[in-house]
Homo-oligomer: A and B are copies of this chain.
Amino acid sequence: MDNYSVKKLAQLAGVSVRTLHLYDKMGLLKPSVRTEARYRLYGEKELLRLQQILFYRELDFPLKEIADILDNPAFDMVQALEGHRRALLARKERIDTLVGTIDNTLVTLKNNRMLQVEDLYEGIPRDKMDAWRKEAMVRWGESTILAVEDTLRSITKEEMAALKQELEELNTQLSALMHADPASHEVQQLIDRRYVIVMRFTGGKVGMDRLEYFRKLGELYVADNRYTPVNGLPSMELALFIQAATKHYVAQQSR
């Protein structure tokens, strides 16, 4: 009547002997009999119970919950299954997100895009770059900086080079106007072009509206001279001039 040794039962059910030892110790599946030498012997009831256990285990139920289900016939199985179903769907959704992230990363990598933060500050000494980032995070908020860098990472190196060049041309024009009023129409027009250029490269990708973008990213990239490596400001004087002009510009836009 008690036919199966540990090994036989294990082979029959496709589990390891260790598993049966474990189930025994935790009370999930006890052998029907122990021989004098403490060998475990299992009968048909145990085989049946093991089948049930494996059914729920296959569904990724934790063993303790399986014990609850099997030992408490009043257990609300429908509710347990529905809860479990929800958990599984949540896992699945998370996996979808992860796969999406991986896909984006792969596209980025394969198109020779920039993944390393260092690339954003090309040619800038590491220690300076670290200091810049830290200060920028304090000043603009960590999440802002990370979002910006995230956006910039999706730009290819060629695009970044083009961006730099366009900004440098603008800088040349602005240099010629440094004697003028930062709030003058001509200067403001050039500042506007700066915004347009930067937004063409980075805009709309960080889930902010235009004003929000101006207030945060635009302001950051155009006005913050920490980002000279990106927009290539040639001199401190010009930087200060642009900063003043930008302050006026943002104030106008925000109204």
Binding site for B on A (CB under 8 A): 1, 3, 12, 43-45, 47-48, 51, 58-60, 77-78, 81-82, 84-85, 88-89, 91-92, 95-96, 98-99, 101-103, 105-106, 109-110, 117, 126-127, 130-131, 133-134, 142, 146
A130 CA to B89 CA in the complex, in Å? 37
A-B pairs, top 4 by smallest CB distance, nearest first, are: A44-B130, A92-B95, A85-B102, A88-B95
B78-A110 in contact (CB<8A): yes
* Pairs across A and B, CB under 8 Å, 18 listed: A1-B127, A3-B134, A12-B142, A43-B130, A51-B146, A77-B109, A78-B110, A81-B102, A81-B105, A81-B106, A82-B106, A84-B102, A85-B102, A88-B98, A88-B99, A89-B95, A92-B92, A95-B95
Q: Given the known A-B contacts A3-B134, A81-B105, A134-B44, are A98 and B12 also in contact in the complex, defined by CB atoms under 8 Å?
A: no
Number of copies: 2
A87 to chain B, nearest CB (A): 10
A78 CA to B59 CA in the complex, in Å? 32
Q: Using Cβ atoms and an 8 Å threshold, which residues of chain B touch A44?
A: 130-131, 133-134
Q: Using Cβ atoms and an 8 Å threshold, which residues of chain B touch A1?
A: 127
